[in-house]
Amino acid sequence: MKHKPVLGLIAVFLLPPLLAALVLSQGWFTPGVRGHGEWVQGNISAAGQWRLVLVTDDPCDYCAPAKRMLNNLDLALGRDEVRVMVTEQPAGGLLEAGFVYIADPPGLLVMRYPMATDAGQNRHTGKALLEDLRRLLKYSRAG
């Protein structure tokens, strides 16, 4: 009877850290990663504003749907549209064809998103790109 309060206190203070360690060690918890694109590293020339860079190759079967998606994305940004520039660049160096890259104003590459010929896939990619770009613009003072 005298040990119940002590056991209760031990359970209250030791059980939560033990459960947390179990959840983390078993991989039952996914950390708060919110970015949808693939993180990349590299530099391109500085431009003074955020850029969406469409990397093209010959032949380019994904270019027309990608350009349409980027135009719609530019319109969807609303008032932040003036902070973002859409450019096209041939493949080469560290830029791989078939992707749209986000570059910050000093020219650092941030993320990349795959382009496809399928309109449904590009719609999904466009939504993910827009969400990530809005978040970047919200927390950025540059551009």
- What pLDDT is recorded for position 33? 63
E strand map for 1-141: 38-39, 50-56, 84-90, 99-103, 109-114
Alpha-carbon span 119 to 126, nearest angstrom: 10
Residue boundaries of the structural domains of the chain: 1-31, 38-139
Q: What is the pTM of this model?
A: 0.76
Alpha-carbon span 14 to 134, nearest angstrom: 42
Say whether domain 38-139 belongs to CATH 3.40.30.10.
yes
Angle at which helices 63-76 and 119-139 pack, to 10 degrees? 40
Q: What is the pLDDT of residues 34-78, one digit of tens each?
A: 788 899 999 998 888 999 999 988 888 888 888 989 999 989 999
Alpha-carbon span 104 to 106, nearest angstrom: 6
Coil, strand or helix: which one is 114? strand
